[in-house]
Each structure stands twice: as structure tokens, then as C-alpha cells.
């Protein structure tokens, strides 16, 4: 309506400008980058800048609130001399390896179960997501309460039904038990992510494949091994990739449950990095700890994405 009321000369003057913009936006080489630019700016601000800062800190002797100097790879080399760091390195692999393996096996099992025709399917699927939805620090506090030597409901129940001798297992004070405790909580928390993602993959498998396998005489196990698993491989690769990265960089569970103890037996890169970088002010060393596995994780990401592409094409 507005254009219609403008004098004819002004309307004429605007048309070429609009037409020019419209013509420009029709070109893919202009429109594409235009759409991507906001995301690129966000990535540059929220990912690239902090990462570059971390890289700079890791190669400096930065100490909170004091001037720093470039020290090259010295932090990375010196760290390997510290017994606590070597222990942390070992812990991270044990924690991640066992957790991801359990989450994978249990995740597939749970997804297969959820894929069956159950009563209250939606409610059950929603309930399965709860550990993933609840803030980790809060749910880990609940676990801490259960593992606590004084208040443990696990101990109380175990002792009262005669399964445990008083005072019960020292969950957070014995190094193997403590590692088992943090792994258990990580599995409990990460299982829904595996189960729901794998369930999405299961639902997408064409029913015809199962019908063909059945007509060829394949049993339940053969159908799983020769149909389900191969079809799930790309989904599994992505889930394992994400979980490996998340589990390596886990912080909340260990920080709340054991604070890295007993005798550093559960320290992970994130908790140890915090102890050195924030609690003791040595930001340079702290950054080096958190970036120590970066090259390895880059390789894992590259290898797994390559695998996924091969599967897809």
C-alpha cells in the first residue's frame, strides 16, 4: 500500500536497488557465505578465541595476575615428570575406556529393548532420558550421598540384609572402588545418550531387511549380527566419538564424588587442570594439562569421521 501511494518517480528509483539486491541474493556464492557468516562469527568468538588463548597459555609460564613469557613446549615436557600427572593420564584412559565400552553394550541392549512394543512406550523412553537431563552436579551429589561412608543407603541396605559385613565397602576411599564408583556414575549418566541415539538408528532400519533375513531362515542372533549391527555402524561410530570426547573431558562427576582422590586415583585431565591452573594459580601448566590429549583426540575424530564417510558412501 505504501508503494502505491509514493510518487511514481520515487517508486521507480527504488526498483533497481531492490532488484539488484534480489539478483545478488539469487547467486549461491553470495547467499551461501551470508548464511554461514553468523555461525562463523559465533564459532570464532566462542570456540576459536578461547582455544587460541588456551594454546597461548599452555606455551607460557602464565601465573594468575602476573606477566607471562613464552616457554614453548616446556610445560608439556615437565608435566610428564610428575607422578600425579602420569597417574592422571592413566586414570583418563581407564575411566574413558571402561565407561564407553559399558555405555556402548548397555546402550545397544537398552535401545533394542525400547524398540520393542512395550506398554507406556513414550513414558518409558522419557524416563530413560532423566539421568541425561538432570544437572550432573546435582545427580552426582545424590550418588555421593549413596557412597558416603556415614550415610550410605547402599551400606545400610547391604548390611541389614546380610550382603555386606559392617562397615561395608569403602567406596570413595579405596582406589579401585573409587574408580569403579566414578565409572558407574558416568555410565548411569551417559547411557540415555547412547540408548536414544541408537534407538533412532534402529527405527530407521528398513523392515524389509529383517523380513528378507527371516525368509532366509536367520534367527534372532543372526538378524542382529548381520542386519542390525552393520546398519547401525555409522550411528555407533558417531555416538562413540562424541562419548569418547565427553568422557575424556569429564569434570563434574570426579570433582563432586572424589575430588580426584584417594591419592589422586581418580583425577582426570579436567580436575587436575583445575587444581593446578585455578587453585594454585599456574594457568600455563593448567592449560597444558587440559590440552595434552588434543592431538590424540584430533586423530580419533579424523579416523572415526573417515570411517563414517566410508560407511555412508
Partner 1 sequence: MRPVTRRQFLATTGTGLAGILATRTAPAVGQVREISYLCWNNFAPASDKKLSEIGQRFTKDTGIKLKIDHISHMGPQQAKYASEVQTQAGHDLVEMRMHFPWLYEPQLVDVSDVVAGLEKQYGKAISSAYEGAHVHGVWKAVPQYHGMFVCTYREDLFKKASLKVPDTWEELYTVGKELKKMGNPVGIPISQNYDSISTAGPVLWSFGGMEVDKDGKTVKINSDGTTQTIEWYKKMFKDCMEPEVLSWSDASNNESIQQGKAGWIHNPVSAYIIAKQRKLVTADGINHHRSLGGPKGRYETDTPRHIGIWKFSKNIEASKEWIKYLLGKKETYDEYIMSGDAFNLPVYAKLTDHPVLRTDPKYAALKGEGVEYHTYGWPAPPSDKVQLITNAYILPNMIAKAVTGTSTKDAIAWAETEMKKVMAG
> Interface with partner 1 by CB under 8 A: which residues?
63-66, 78, 81-84, 149-150, 167, 170-174, 178, 258-264, 274-283, 285
Burial of residue 92, with CB atoms counted within 10 A of its CB: 0-12 exposed, 13-18 middle, 19 or more buried: buried
What are the residues whose beta carbons fall under 8 Å from the beta carbon of 75, sequence distance 6 or more? Answer: 58, 59, 61, 284, 285, 287, 288
Alpha carbons 191 and 202: distance in angstroms, whole number: 16
Please state, in angstroms and rounded to a whole number, the distance separating the CA atoms of residues 57 and 46.
17
174 vs 304 by CB, closer to partner 1 = 174
Nearer to partner 1, 96 or 266 (CB): 266
Q: Tell me the Ramachandran region of residue 174: left when phi exceeds 0, alpha when psi lies from -120 to 50, beta otherwise.
A: beta
- Closest by Cα among 258, 283, 268, 291 to 84: 268
Minimum CB separation from partner 1 for residue 280, in Å?
4
Cα(245)–Cα(227) distance, rounded to whole angstroms? Answer: 28
Alpha carbon 227 to its chain's center: 28
In angstroms, the CA 19 to CA 25 distance is: 10
For 202, other C-beta atoms within 10 Å of its C-beta total 17
Closer of 127 and 137 to partner 1 (Cβ): 137
* Shortest spacing between CB 171 and partner 1, in angstroms: 7
Residue 149 or residue 222: which is nearer to partner 1 going by CB? 149
DSSP 279: I
Which residues touch 170 (CB under 8 Å, ≥6 apart)? 149, 177
Assigned C-alpha cell, 80: 610428564
Q: Which is nearer to partner 1, 235 or 256 (CB)?
A: 256
- Residue 53 beta carbon to partner 1: minimum distance, rounded to whole angstroms: 10
Minimum CB distance to partner 1, residue 261 (Å): 4
Residue 264 near residue 88, CB atoms below 8 Å:
yes
User: Considering the complex, what minimum distance in angstroms separates the CB of residue 42 from partner 1?
Assistant: 20
> Considering the complex, what minimum distance in angstroms separates the CB of residue 150 from partner 1?
6
**Which of residues 68 and 109 has its CB atom nearest to partner 1 in the complex?**
68
On the CB side of 69, how many CA atoms lie within 13 Å of its CA? 2
Q: C-beta of 90: minimal distance to partner 1 in Å?
A: 16
CB 83, min distance to partner 1, A: 6
Total number of residues shown for the chain: 313
Q: Residue 85 or 194: which CB sits closer to partner 1? A: 85
Q: Which is nearer to partner 1, 37 or 280 (CB)?
A: 280
Amino acid at each position: 500500500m505504501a508503494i502505491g501511494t509514493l510518487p511514481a518517480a520515487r517508486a521507480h528509483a527504488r526498483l533497481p536497488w531492490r532488484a539488484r539486491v534480489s539478483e545478488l541474493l539469487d547467486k549461491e556464492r553470495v547467499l551461501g557465505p551470508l548464511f554461514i557468516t553468523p555461525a562463523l562469527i559465533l564459532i570464532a568468538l566462542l570456540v576459536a578465541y578461547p582455544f587460541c588463548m588456551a594454546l597461548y597459555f599452555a606455551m607460557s609460564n602464565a601465573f594468575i595476575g602476573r606477566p607471562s613469557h613464552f616457554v614453548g613446549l616446556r610445560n608439556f615436557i615437565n608435566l610428564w615428570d610428575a607422578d600425579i600427572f602420569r597417574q592422571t593420564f592413566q586414570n583418563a584412559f581407564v575411566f574413558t575406556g571402561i565407561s564407553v565400552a559399558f555405555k556402548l553394550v548397555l546402550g545397544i541392549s537398552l535401545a533394542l529393548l525400547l524398540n520393542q512394543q512395550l506398554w507406556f512406550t513414550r513414558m518409558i523412553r522419557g524416563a530413560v532420558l532423566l539421568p541425561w537431563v538432570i544437572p550432573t552436579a546435582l545427580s552426582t551429589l545424590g550418588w555421593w550421598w549413596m557412597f558416603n561412608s556415614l550415610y550410605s543407603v547402599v551400606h545400610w541396605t547391604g548390611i541389614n540384609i546380610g550382603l555386606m559385613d559392617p562397615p561395608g565397602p569403602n567406596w570413595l576411599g579405596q582406589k579401585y572402588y573409587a574408580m569403579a564408583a566414578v565409572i558407574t556414575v558416568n555410565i548411569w549418566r551417559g547411557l540415555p545418550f547412547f540408548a536414544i541415539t541408537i534407538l533412532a538408528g534402529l527405527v530407521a532400519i528398513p523392515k524389509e531387511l529383517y523380513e528378507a533375513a527371516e525368509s532366509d531362515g536367520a534367527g534372532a542372533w543372526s538378524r542382529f549380527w548381520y542386519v542390525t549391527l552393520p546398519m547401525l555402524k555409522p550411528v555407533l561410530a558417531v555416538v562413540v566419538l562424541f562419548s569418547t570426547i565427553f568422557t575424556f573431558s569429564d569434570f563434574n562427576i570426579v570433582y563432586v564424588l572424589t575430588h580426584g582422590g584417594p591419592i589422586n586415583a581418580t583425577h582426570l585431565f579436567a580436575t587436575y587442570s583445575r587444581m593446578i591452573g585455578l587453585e594454585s594459580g599456574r594457568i600455563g601448566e593448567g592449560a597444558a594439562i587440559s590440552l595434552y590429549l588434543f592431538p590424540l583426540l584430533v586423530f580419533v575424530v579424523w579416523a572415526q569421521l573417515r570411517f563414517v564417510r566410508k560407511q555412508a558412501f
